[in-house]
Chains A and B, each alone.
Chain A
Amino acid sequence: MHTGFLLLALLTLASAGAAMCLRNLVHCALCVAISFVSLAALFLTLDAEFVGFAQILVYVGAVAILIVIAILLTRDISGHGQSLVFKPWTLGVGVGALVAGSLVSAVTSSAFTHRELPPAPAATVRQLGESLMTTYVVPLEIIGLLLTAALLGAVLLARRENEGGGRS
């Protein structure tokens, strides 16, 4: 096993686990940001440079920071001293463990997954752009529409309820 991969995998899993377990929500958000960064590094080890840096730009630079801001803006005033998890928490963890067990057993029993790394493909940015504009042009347009709708929806939702139009 490759040491670099092992370290990154451990970092990813540890920070993801910490993000799901810690009490302080800001710690959780930062742990998930670390997890996103190490995933981006894993993408780089798989020669997917573009996706790796897109991951940093979108997930670490935008999604995680939005989560931090949302946490800072929604600090719970009433719920001090309450349990952080739903009461039969073993249920959720059990479902998680069950999924993990079945997925891992399926993966380890498959013959296909023992492949060694083939030589690196030459995926240039130009190729990516060309296939985005030809083969994947319809999904690209749809995702543009989706992002516009999400932008408008987020603005509408985050508006104060009692404010009747006019000012945003």
Chain B
Amino acid sequence: MTTLQSYLILSALLFSIGLAGALTRRNAILVLIGIELMLNAANLNFIAFWRYGPHPEALTGVMFALFSIGVAAAEAAVGLALIIAIYRHYKTANLDKVTTLKG
């Protein structure tokens, strides 16, 4: 059967993919996607530790994952609204171009 280790390794790799993407891609939306992937990797860890942990009846990991999903939804809404506002102003979603603080 699958051990806790395999879930943790999967989550570590997923986190790193998200991190590398968020650091390298120029498009703001892809940076956001990278961040979402990292959040998801963390959720997988919460669920795996909950399932393999000594006290699954306390539901701590599940609760963490649920709240994290809620926060991620809020983050995505605000982040995408910001990106669209930036796009309206600069006509691009490319992070290189968005370098001035003053309109």
Given contacts A96-B23, A151-B77, contact A32 B33 (CB under 8 A): yes
**Which residues of chain B come closer than 8 Å to A112, judged between CB atoms?**
4
The tally of residues in A whose CB lies under 8 Å from a CB in B reads 89
Q: Are A139 and B76 in contact (CB under 8 A)?
A: no
Residues in A whose Cβ lies below 8 Å from that of B2: 1-2, 5, 45, 117
Shortest beta-carbon distance, A62 to chain B, in Å?
6
- SS of B interface (majority): helix
A20 close to B76 (CB less than 8 A)? no
Chain A, 30-53, contact with B by CB distance < 8 Å: what is the 0/1 string? 001001100100110111101100
Listed in ascending order, the chain A residues whose CB lies under 8 Å from chain B are 1-2, 5, 9, 12-13, 16-17, 19-21, 25, 28-29, 32, 35-36, 39, 42-43, 45-48, 50-51, 54-55, 58-59, 62-63, 66-67, 70-71, 73-74, 76-79, 82-86, 89, 91-93, 95-97, 99-100, 103-104, 107-108, 112-118, 121, 123, 127-128, 131-132, 135-136, 139, 143, 146-147, 149-151, 153-155, 157-158, 160-161
